[in-house]
């Protein structure tokens, strides 16, 4: 039962899955429409859920409180439905601190807005094979389009969202209460359709997007109102940022994997070393900021390796089988973080690019009556949005991307019945590296990863909630 840290983590997870199983099978019997008497409901609760908890109570008494959070919420919800009273998993640390999780059942989910990065696609370009003499695996999909596997992965996580919304009892009248709005790229549009298919299969939803011949300002990553002075200041920031980052190890790993010294690019054009190569920055009105040179080249190459991995290529065809371990994956994907940090992380350029998006989010969260808004864009949208809204640094366990493909930033408005007030919770919901690779079915029993996010000016409590009034004050600047 004990793990290497002498904790009961695996055992707690096993008991939690049993409790979820019983709740899933018996939950309908406790629905408001159920005709069962309260006495009969209590009997079922005592026979199934309470026995599961009681049999393990001696172990739980000494477990770390955080390890019991999810199990506590599951038991308490079942207990409320069955007995109209709160129940606690007995734990000495809770007793000492007088802290419980009963608050979770005093909260009611009011509305949700999700900003999602599109799901798994084909690589964005095909000019990079010249950087290696090794044979590149072929793709059946067009450049930059959502792959079949990407469609399935998006549909998979959408099914989880449907289960989560049901668990939180957010009553949705589809299509009236649902809006899905995507950028007008094929990969974002197709991701929107895949999510609708998975989350709302019986609902005829209209996926919104602008004509594909136009640029949608909500999702555009183009610079907008640049003066010469502003352009020079941003370029200076980017140059200094380049000088401050040590990406030698990452670039060396890339050029060793591709065998750059034996590539056509080296033999015919003399490009034989990424580490010592020069970078160029181009920032002009009405185009996306451009960083060219070693980092940009390496970013495209690593992106190709990652798409091979996520799309289920045989391991010998993922970077020719030359990525040996998770540490090397992390080293490679640091390049993606560096690239976006350089071109999008300056506050003024981030605001210039993403202000229309943040204003749209503000209007949707504060004034729109739609209960479930779902937007599909790009990693650059998330980078710039996080920058101007002052999100604090975060880590995403079991995934090495800072903005995982298919990952979703979930804004949740909750009502605290006991205190008669609204609260905000923001989470990054994403499939882990292995869940993506193995196409694992996501469910309440095997959920995607969820990480609570926090913004400056909107401090969160131990349950990840910040005051809605603090959020309103914060959004006044937009």
Is 113 found in the same domain as 88? no
Q: Catalytic: 279?
A: no
Angstrom distance (rounded) from CA 280 to CA 274: 14
Q: What is the pLDDT of residue 381?
A: 98
300 within some domain = yes
pLDDT of residue 173: 93
Is 118 found in the same domain as 30?
no
Which of 348, 375, 407 terminates a domain? The answer is 348
Shared-domain flag, residues 74 and 44? yes
Residue in 334, 341, 352, 379 annotated catalytic: 379
Q: Are residues 358 and 342 in the same domain?
A: no
Q: Are residues 210 and 357 in the same domain?
A: yes
Question: Residue 310 domain-assigned?
Answer: yes
Residue of 118, 151, 340, 378 marked active site: 118
Q: What is the pLDDT along the chain (478 residues), one digit of tens a residue?
A: 445 554 566 767 777 777 777 667 666 666 656 667 767 666 766 666 666 555 555 556 656 656 666 666 766 666 666 555 555 555 444 444 434 444 456 899 999 999 999 999 999 987 678 999 999 999 999 999 999 999 999 999 999 999 999 999 999 999 999 999 999 999 999 999 999 999 999 999 999 999 988 999 999 999 887 788 888 888 898 899 998 999 999 999 999 999 999 999 999 999 999 998 889 888 888 888 889 999 999 999 999 999 999 999 999 999 999 999 999 999 999 999 999 999 998 888 999 999 999 999 999 999 999 999 999 999 999 999 999 999 999 999 999 999 999 999 999 999 999 899 999 999 999 999 999 999 999 999 999 999 999 999 999 999 999 999 999 999 999 9
Residues 339 and 358 in one domain: no
Nearest 5°: the CA angle 211, 212, 213 is: 90
One domain for residues 70 and 94: yes
* Residue 23 falls inside a structural domain: yes
Residue 262 and residue 190 share a domain: no
For 92, the domain range is 9-100
Q: Are residues 315 and 211 in the same domain?
A: no
130: in domain: no
Q: What kind and span of H or E run contains 275?
A: none
292 is a domain residue: yes
For 24-82, give the secondary structure using H, E and C: HHHHHHHCCCCCCCHHHHHHHHHHHHHHHHHHCHHHHCCCCHHHHHHHHHHHHHHHHHH
Predicted local distance difference test score (pLDDT) of residue 67 = 66
Q: Which two tokens stand for residue 454?
A: 């926090």
pTM for the model stands at 0.80
Is residue 9 within 8 A of residue 67, CB to CB? The reply is: yes
Query: Is 234 within the bounds of a domain?
Result: yes
pLDDT reported for residue 7: 55
Q: Which of 296, 315, 348 is the last residue of a domain?
A: 348
Is residue 144 located within the same domain as residue 292? no
Total count of domains within the chain: 3
If DSSP codes are grouped into helix, strand and coil, which group holds residue 146? strand
| CATH code, domain with 288 | 3.40.50.1240
379 is catalytic: yes
- On whether both 300 and 405 belong to a single domain, the answer is no
Angle at 361 (CA atoms; ends 356, 364), nearest 5 degrees = 125
Domain end, chosen from 348, 368, 389, is at 348
Same domain (yes/no): 234, 301: yes
For CA atoms 49, 198, 396, 451, the dihedral sign is negative
Q: Are 27 and 45 in contact (CB under 8 A)?
A: no
Whether 151 maps to a domain, the answer reads yes
220 lies in some domain: no
Task: Give the C-alpha separation, 179 to 370, whole Å.
Answer: 7
């Amino acid at each position: 039962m004990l793990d290497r840290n002498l904790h009961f983590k695996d055992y707690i997870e096993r008991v939690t899955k049993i409790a979820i199983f019983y709740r899933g099978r018996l939950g309908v019997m406790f629905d408001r429409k159920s005709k069962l008497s309260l006495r009969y409901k209590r009997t079922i609760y005592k026979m199934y859920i309470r026995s599961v908890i009681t049999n393990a109570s001696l172990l739980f008494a000494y477990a770390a409180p955080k390890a019991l959070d999810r199990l506590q919420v599951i038991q308490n919800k079942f207990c409320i439905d069955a007995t109209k009273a709160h129940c606690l998993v007995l734990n000495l640390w809770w007793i000492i601190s007088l802290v419980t999780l009963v608050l979770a059942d005093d909260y009611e989910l009011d509305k949700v807005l999700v900003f999602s990065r599109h799901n798994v696609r084909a690589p964005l370009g095909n000019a990079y094979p010249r950087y290696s003499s090794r044979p590149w695996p072929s793709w059946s999909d067009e450049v930059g389009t959502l792959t079949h596997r990407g469609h399935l992965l998006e549909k998979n996580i959408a099914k989880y969202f449907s289960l989560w919304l049901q668990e939180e009892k957010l009553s949705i009248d589809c299509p009236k209460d649902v809006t899905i709005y995507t950028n007008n790229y094929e990969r974002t549009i197709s991701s929107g359709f895949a999510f609708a298919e998975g989350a709302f299969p019986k609902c005829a939803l209209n996926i919104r997007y602008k004509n594909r011949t136009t640029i949608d300002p909500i999702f555009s990553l183009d610079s907008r109102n640049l003066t010469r002075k502003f352009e020079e200041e941003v370029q200076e920031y980017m140059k200094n940022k380049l000088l401050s980052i040590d990406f030698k190890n990452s670039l060396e790993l890339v050029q060793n994997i591709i065998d750059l010294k034996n590539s056509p690019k080296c033999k015919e054009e003399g490009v034989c070393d990424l580490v010592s190569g020069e970078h160029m920055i181009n920032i002009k009105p009405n185009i996306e900021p451009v960083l060219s040179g070693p980092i940009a080249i390496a970013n495209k190459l690593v992106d190709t390796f990652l798409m091979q991995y996520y799309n289920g290529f045989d391991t010998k065809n993922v970077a020719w089988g030359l990525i040996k371990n998770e540490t090397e994956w992390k080293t490679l994907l640091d390049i993606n973080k560096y690239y976006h940090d350089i071109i999008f992380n300056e506050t003024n350029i981030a605001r210039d690019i993403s202000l229309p998006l943040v204003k749209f989010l503000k209007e949707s969260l504060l004034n729109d009556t739609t209960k479930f808004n779902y937007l599909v864009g790009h990693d650059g949208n998330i980078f710039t949005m996080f920058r101007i809204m002052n999100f604090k640094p975060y880590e995403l366990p079991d995934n090495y991307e800072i903005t995982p493909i298919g990952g979703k930033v979930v804004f949740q408005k909750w009502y605290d019945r006991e205190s008669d007030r609204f609260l905000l919770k923001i989470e990054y919901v994403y499939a882990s590296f292995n869940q993506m690779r193995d196409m694992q079915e996501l469910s309440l029993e095997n959920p995607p990863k969820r990480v609570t996010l926090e913004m400056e000016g909107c401090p969160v409590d131990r349950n990840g909630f910040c005051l809605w009034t603090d959020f309103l004050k914060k959004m006044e600047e937009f």
